[in-house]
Each structure stands twice: as C-alpha cells, then as structure tokens.
Amino acid sequence: MYSAYLQEYLEDLTHIAGIEPGTVTLLDETLACFLGIFSRSLGADIHPAEDLLKASIRLLLLDEGISRLPQEEQLNGIHYLIGMGFEQTGELLARIKSSNGNQVVQDTPLDDDHWYRMTLALLHYLAGGHRVQALAVMRRIESITASIINDPSGDEYQRSLEILQRIYSGDLPDSVESEEDPWYQLAFQSREPSNIQERRIQRLATKIQVRRNVVLESLGQEDSPAWLSQRLDV
C-alpha cells in the first residue's frame, strides 16, 4: 500500500497512459531491485527475483514518453515517480559496486551509471517541483564528486556538479569562461547534444528553466532571471 500522494501520482500516470488503474508496477519493480541487493547482503533471497534491467528500461521509456507531452501540472507527480526510480536504482548500483569491490572511476560522468542515474533523479525531481527530494539527491552527487576529486577524472565531475548546482539554484553564470564550458553549453542549449544521455539532460534542464520562469512570471516579475539573481544575492 502506497502513501496517499504516491497513490495519486500513480493514478495520474495510469490516466495519462490510458491504462487500467492498478496495472502500473514500476514502484514494485524498483523497490524489488533495492530489496534484492539488501537481502543478499544478509545472505537471503527474495522471490520473485529482482530485474534491474527491466526496471531501468521502463524508467527510460517513461522518461522518453513524458518528454513528448506538453508541460502540464499533472506531470509533476510522474516526474516524482521517475526521479524516485532513478534514485533507488542509482543507489542500488552503488551498493553492487561496493559489495564487488568495484570502485573504478569512469573517465566522464556520463559513463558512470551511478552518477548518471542520480543526475536524472535530480533533474526529474526539479522538473516536477520536488525541491526537497532534489536537494537530498544533490547532496549525494556532491558526495560522489568529493570522493573522487583527486582522481584524474575529478575535474570533469566537478565541472558537471557546478552546472547541476546552478540548475538547482537558478544562478546562471554569465562569464565567457563559463559559456565556453561544454557542460554549461549542454545545460543551457548553446550546443547540440552528442548522444542520448546528453539529450536527456538538456531536455530536463530546459523544462526546469521553463518551469522556473513560469513561476516567477506568475509573481509579476517581468525580468525573471534578474529577480531571482537579486534574491540569491541577499
């Protein structure tokens, strides 16, 4: 039995997808993945066995599906569900790596499945207006970055983290140096994505900026970025 707000989000998803209520099993699948790893750490098993690949494919298909829908308030809950799914499976992968002693740092953040899932979780939470959950994920990404800062790939992770922090805060950099950074260019649409991972990040970053501007304009602020920047400086 899910909490009232999760049940409401699931009902929104079934309504938009045009399927029967009670047929969405996404949360069951992601939770089963998490419980499967946890139970094995205790020397136990769960039945039926978890399927991380299946859950991951469902999350990516859902992410792609809602990208084709107009920006509506009804999507806020679905962004929450996707964000939670990516967060759970991201932490699951971190546990798998830890238990296997596999702590190899990837050359770029996009090649790091844990980092990428947590980033998608962060962006989906923000796209749906769930800033408390987004902040918790942001702290996790900061922890990942801090743990590898001395690695040769550390600078790349740090640059990507700084852009994610700016997306979260709405504090857009305006220096030439920032605008020449590939992560800045990706997040703020000054270059085309080179792969599907970058496309997802850019699409979600754009949705977050649109959402923020709509909220600020509804408050009667004609120059939304300037208004937000002024408040952040206080």
Domain positions in the chain are 4-233
pLDDT band at 19 (very low <50, low <70, confident <90, very high): very low
Taking the CB of residue 11, how many other CB atoms lie within 10 A of it?
14
CB atoms within 10 A of CB 179: 12
Spatial CA neighbour of 83 closest among 43, 41, 27, 37: 27
25 against 139, higher pLDDT: 139
1, 8, 66, 4: which is closest to 28 by C-alpha?
Answer: 1
> For 175-217, how does the pLDDT look when each residue is reduced to its tens digit (9 = 90+)?
545 667 888 888 887 788 889 899 999 999 998 988 887 777 7
Contact present, 13 and 81 (Cβ < 8 Å): yes
Looking at per-residue pLDDT, the higher value among 96 and 223 belongs to: 96
The whole-angstrom separation of Cα 226 and Cα 202 is 22
Closest by CA to 34, choosing from 83, 75, 92, is: 92
Whether this model's pTM surpasses 0.85? no
pLDDT digits (tens, 9 = 90+) for 142-187: 998 998 888 888 899 999 999 999 999 887 655 545 667 888 888 8
Q: Are 187 and 163 in contact (CB under 8 A)?
A: yes
Structure tokens at 162: 């700084």
Average pLDDT, the chain: 74
Taking only the tens place, the pLDDT of each residue in 114-145 is 899 999 999 999 999 999 999 999 999 999 89
Average pLDDT in the 48-57 region? Answer: 63
- Which residue, among 3, 27, 1, 30, has the nearest Cα to 13 in the 3D structure? 27
